[in-house]
Structures are given as structure tokens and as C-alpha cells.
Amino acid sequence: MSVDNRTVAKIANLARIAVKEDEIEPLVGELNNILSWIEQLSEVNTDGVAPMTSVVEVDLPWRADKVTDGGYRDDILANAPHAEHGFFTVPKVIE
């Protein structure tokens, strides 16, 4: 894959980056070099390699996944300016 002047101008426009006409040609070369490096990565055999989330093997602590209401409804509603029937009440904003 390679890019041309028109593609670089479109990318700059989409990214909202101001690029002068004389700066486009050097960017074409740089982007084509980056794309060639990416193509080289696709040549690497990754069969049998597990996906990584970190370079360091870390076991994260797990907790039981149980649904609760938190048990703090009354404490939370005590901070509300207005509450009725266990819910926050707000002024009507739509007629």
C-alpha cells in the first residue's frame, strides 16, 4: 500500500491539520516508509503466540461478580435537594 499527494492532503484535511503544498511531498515519503514498516510486521509468524495486555505477567485480583443495590439509597437520597418515593425529583423542564 502506498499513499500519494492527494491522499496526504485528504488525511490532513480529515485530521484538521494545516499542511502547506510544499510540505505534502516529504510527508508522502514518510507515510510510505511507515506503511512499509507495518507491512513488514505482517510477515512475522505469530502462530501460537498469545495476545498480551502487558509485557509483565500480572494476575489481577478478582472479586465475586454479584449484583447488589449498594444498600446506600437512603444515605444518597439524604444529599438530594428533593426526593420522593426513593427517587431524586427534579423540576419539570418540558411543557
User: Band of the pLDDT at 66, cuts 50, 70, 90?
Assistant: confident
pLDDT for res 24: 95
Instruction: Identify the residue whose cell numbers are 449498594.
Output: 70
In order of start, what are the domains of the chain with their CATH numbers?
5-41 (1.10.20)
pLDDT for res 12: 95
Q: pLDDT per residue over 21-42, tens digit each?
A: 999 999 999 999 999 999 998 8
DSSP string, the chain: ----HHHHHHHHHHTT----HHHHHHHHHHHHHHHHHHHHHTTS--TTPPP-S-SS--PPP---------S-HHHHHTTSSSEETTEE-------
pLDDT for res 68: 80
pTM, entire model: 0.50
